[in-house]
């Protein structure tokens, strides 16, 4: 597929990246941070019953040309394509998301594994709930700090590696994954289920979220929440006008051009 479909210059402009294109750890780190902090995680298409398309042209048109965000299959889908184009050694994976009080879901979250000079990194720009800002070393039982965020990987006997986020002295489970490589058809099936299953969370409520160096901003149908250095400020969203204004002001998304 030609560069005319996924234009790297256009993608770099979209994420405000102007660094090296060498397949190094430094490049990976900067790309990851730029994408995570400039492209919002959002489920608006899914909520309005427009299942995302995962081909390269669709991802590029939505995220780059139309300056939208997306959910994991879109965000990590385009990021995986970009990394491969730059010459990184990439393995696409599927993870089981941990839901408090319920347990692990089916494999409904896309994750990326990148290997550079024998060292492996967990890469994920598309997890909307406390997701990574930067690549995480595939290293067990080690707290890894990313600005105001701290993450940790342990081995989960049944499900492989378990990613956790540390808040205070508590570790919160995010998702579990193995290193088994997944194919495009695996993501097509998982995407279809996640976008169409009647009880899918993404069909029940609109959400949009982005990490910041100090914490995270998150908008749902009912609240706008700002987490900054552990402090939480939550504002009630009283009506549709407030939701659309917040979406435009904080995430640069115009709902009038979407629904």
**Which active-site residues does the annotation give?**
72, 109, 124
Residues sharing a CB contact under 8 Å with residue 144, sequence separation 6 or more, in sequence order? 136, 137, 150, 151, 152
The alpha-carbon radius of gyration of the chain (Å, integer) is 17
Residue 66: Cβ within 10 Å count:
11
In the numeric block, which tokens belong to residue 213?
A: 């160096």
Residues in the chain: 259
Inter-residue contact 200 to 72 (CB < 8 Å): no
Distance CA 229, CA 215 (A): 6
Inter-residue contact 196 to 208 (CB < 8 Å): no
Inter-residue contact 53 to 78 (CB < 8 Å): no
In the numeric block, which tokens belong to residue 145?
A: 């700090």
Q: Hey, is 232 helix, strand or coil?
A: strand
């Amino acid at each position: 597929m030609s560069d005319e479909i996924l234009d790297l210059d256009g993608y770099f402009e979209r994420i405000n990246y102007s660094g090296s294109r060498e397949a190094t750890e430094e490049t990976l780190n900067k790309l990851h941070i730029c994408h995570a902090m400039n492209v919002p995680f959002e489920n608006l298409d899914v909520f309005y019953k427009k299942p995302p398309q995962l081909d390269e042209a669709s991802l590029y048109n939505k995220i780059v040309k139309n300056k939208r965000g997306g959910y994991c299959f879109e965000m990590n889908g385009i990021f995986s394509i970009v990394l491969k184009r730059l010459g990184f050694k990439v393995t696409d994976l599927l993870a089981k998301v941990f839901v408090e009080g319920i347990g692990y879901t089916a494999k409904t979250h896309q994750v990326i594994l990148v290997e550079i000079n024998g060292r492996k990194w967990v890469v994920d720009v598309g997890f909307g709930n406390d997701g990574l800002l930067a690549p995480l070393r595939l290293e067990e039982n080690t707290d890894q700090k990313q600005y105001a965020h701290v993450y940790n990987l342990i081995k989960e006997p049944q499900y492989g590696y378990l990613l956790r986020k540390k808040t205070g002295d508590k570790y919160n489970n995010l998702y579990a994954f193995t290193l088994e490589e997944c194919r495009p058809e695996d993501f097509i099936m998982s995407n279809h289920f996640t976008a169409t299953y009647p009880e899918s969370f993404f069909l029940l409520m609109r959400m949009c979220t982005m990490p910041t160096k100090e914490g995270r901003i998150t908008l749902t149908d009912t609240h706008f929440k700002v987490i900054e250095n552990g402090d939480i400020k939550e504002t009630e969203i009283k009506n549709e006008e407030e939701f659309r204004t917040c979406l435009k002001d904080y995430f640069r998304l115009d709902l009038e051009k979407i629904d």
